[in-house]
């Protein structure tokens, strides 16, 4: 029982601490569970692939462990992060780090359960290293990958599959895999045991919390700045629409320029879409501020109706219309995420 607790609890405790430290409560509990379950699935797939490749390749087991298994395991773990960011379900580096660590935690849980059944080792130091070292390493490398990938996505203000499907290798290496390469390198370094395992474990327990704390501090600062500037901008546009002064603004002039390309009815639907989108954006920012203050939030029927109307208007103006008004809405991955967050609430 002691071996089980030492090898399985640390990574779960670290994950719980990350979730608790999120003052804006950005992460969705169902997604954390999904991420953890995906990590378990990734561990199972990795095991099957590693057994198959070890039997097929002419390579020593140690060399395979050093150089090939980290690539397979980190790539499988990274795939769910790619999915979450691509679908606009990750708003900031904070939640990216938490989802990433959850995937690594799930991976480590299945891996350590396997070793508990496969190895009869009474030495508790072995299980301490697996629980506090290897398990936390799995969570940490995927969290680092998630942080870097989210940062790249935010800087480019978009998320395209072309970032991950390079003429297979080129774009993967240069658009996505700065983070993945770092994760693989840390994983491979850990597998090499260049330092004594107990020293590696201690080093990791010091370094990883420092990295996560820095990310939390930096991400919360970005979030607060985004809330303040974004809220002012949204309120300003909404006032122009409600007061009938939109035509006097740069936005109104831009919409007027679209009249040659779209029918009057579509232009009207575009303005309605912009109004709805901004109202929901303001409400989403308000929800974030209330969550930070610890105030319970419930979404009323009016908000749900606005989402229904938004989807109707989206079909009405079509993809071309959405692209035409995207400069007004600044539909970055972060702005799209806030609508997803509000709808899911």
Predicted pLDDT at 191: 60
Q: Are residues 280 and 134 both part of a single domain?
A: no
Helix crossing, 264-292 with 301-329: angle to 10°?
A: 110
What confidence tens digit (pLDDT) does each residue in 280-320 have? 878 877 777 777 677 777 777 788 788 888 888 888 888 78
Q: Output the pLDDT for position 223.
A: 66
Of 95, 93, 86, nearest to 32 (Cα)?
A: 95
Residues 6+ apart with CB under 8 A from 329: 274, 277, 278, 335
Tell me, yes or no, whether 121 and 10 share the same domain: yes
Q: Tokens for 144, please give them.
A: 């680092």
The Cα–Cα gap between 59 and 159 comes to 38
Co-location of 61 and 204 in the same domain:
yes
What is the total count of domains within the chain?
Answer: 2
Last residue of a domain, one of 191, 222, 253: 222
Residue 238 lies in a domain: no
Whether residue 233 lies inside any domain: the answer is no
Co-location of 158 and 195 in the same domain: yes
Tell me, yes or no, whether 177 and 252 share the same domain: no
- Residues 209 and 304 placed together within one structural domain of the fold: no
Query: Is residue 230 situated within a structural domain?
Result: no
Closest CA to 9 of 150, 163, 132, 138: 132
- Containing structural domain, residue 277: 244-344
Residue 236 maps to a domain: no
Task: Give yes or no: residues 204 and 248 share one domain.
Answer: no
Q: What is the pLDDT of residues 37-77, one digit of tens each?
A: 999 999 999 999 999 998 888 888 888 887 788 888 888 88
Read off the pLDDT of each residue in 248-266 and give the average, rounded to a whole number. 76
Whether 293 and 283 have beta carbons less than 8 Å apart is answered as: no
Question: Residues with Cβ < 8 Å from 71, sequence gap 6 or more?
Answer: 184
200 or 139, which is more confident? 139
Indicate whether 100 and 184 sit together in one domain.
Answer: yes
- 262: DSSP letter: S
Clarify whether residues 187 and 67 are in a common domain: yes
Together in a domain, 210 and 106: yes
| pLDDT band (50, 70, 90) for residue 227 | low
> pLDDT at position 107, please?
93
Lowest-pLDDT range of 66-80, 126-140, 264-278: 126-140
């Amino acid at each position: 029982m002691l071996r089980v607790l030492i090898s399985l609890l640390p990574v779960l405790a670290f994950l719980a601490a990350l979730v608790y430290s999120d003052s804006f409560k950005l992460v969705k509990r169902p997604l954390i569970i999904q991420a953890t379950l995906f990590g378990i699935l990734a561990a199972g797939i990795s095991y099957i692939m590693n057994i198959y490749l070890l039997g097929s390749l002419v390579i020593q087991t140690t060399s395979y462990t050093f150089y090939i298994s980290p690539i397979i395991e980190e790539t499988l773990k990274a795939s769910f992060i790619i999915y979450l960011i691509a679908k606009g379900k990750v708003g900031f580096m904070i939640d990216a780090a938490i989802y990433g660590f959850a995937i690594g935690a799930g991976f480590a849980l299945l891996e350590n359960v396997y070793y508990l059944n496969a190895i009869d080792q009474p030495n508790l130091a072995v299980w301490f290293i697996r629980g506090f070292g290897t398990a936390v390493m799995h969570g940490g490398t995927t969290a680092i990958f998630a942080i870097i990938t989210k940062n790249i996505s935010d800087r480019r203000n978009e998320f395209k599959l072309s970032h991950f499907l390079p003429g297979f290798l080129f774009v993967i290496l240069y658009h996505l895999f700065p983070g993945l390469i770092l994760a693989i390198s840390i994983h491979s370094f850990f597998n090499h045991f260049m330092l004594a395992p107990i020293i590696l474990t201690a080093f990791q327990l010091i370094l990883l919390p420092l990295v996560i704390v820095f990310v939390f501090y930096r991400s919360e600062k970005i979030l607060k700045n985004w809330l303040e500037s974004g809220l002012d901008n949204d309120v300003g546009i909404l006032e122009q629409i409600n007061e009938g002064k939109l035509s006097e603004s740069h936005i109104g002039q831009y919409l007027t320029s679209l009249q040659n390309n779209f029918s009057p009815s579509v232009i009207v639907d575009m303005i309605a879409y912009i109004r709805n989108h901004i109202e929901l954006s303001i409400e989403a920012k308000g929800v974030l501020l209330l969550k930070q203050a610890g105030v319970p939030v419930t979404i009323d029927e009016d908000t749900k109706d606005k989402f229904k109307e938004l989807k109707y208007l989206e079909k009405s103006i079509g993809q071309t219309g959405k692209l035409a008004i995207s400069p007004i809405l600044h539909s970055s991955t972060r702005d799209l995420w806030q609508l997803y967050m509000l709808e899911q609430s």
